[in-house]
Amino acid sequence: MAKKMDFEQSMARIEEIAAALERGDATLSESMALFQEGTALIGKCREELDKAQQQVVQLMRNADGGADEAPFAVEE
């Protein structure tokens, strides 16, 4: 069974795949396999980022000068 890659390893592999596809020296079959691997890795990375974003807490100063915890707000 293949070892599960962490986020950084997945991102490095995505970069390798993109470089290989950009070179254009792979066969169509190889290119499709690389593309499928890359899209799967991108999906896993996106899930990890979403989970991390949900865990991030922004500290906000309250009226007493203390710190209150609030969910991290995403600007869109």
pLDDT tens digit sequence for 1-18: 457 899 999 999 999 999
Indicate whether 64 belongs to any domain: yes
Indicate whether 66 belongs to any domain: yes
Residues 56 and 73: beta-carbon distance below 8 Å: no
The closest alpha carbon to 41, from 10, 6, 9, 5, belongs to 10
Does the pLDDT at position 20 exceed 60? yes
Indicate whether 76 belongs to any domain: no
Tell me the pLDDT tens digit for each residue of 36-69: 999 999 999 999 998 887 776 444 555 666 666 6
Find the DSSP H helices in 24-71: 28-55
Q: How many structural domains are present in the chain?
A: 1
Indicate whether 1 belongs to any domain: no
**Residue 61: domain span:** 7-71
Indicate whether 2 belongs to any domain: no
pTM beyond 0.75 = no
Indicate whether 51 belongs to any domain: yes
Give the N- to C-terminal CA distance of the chain in Å, as an integer.
40
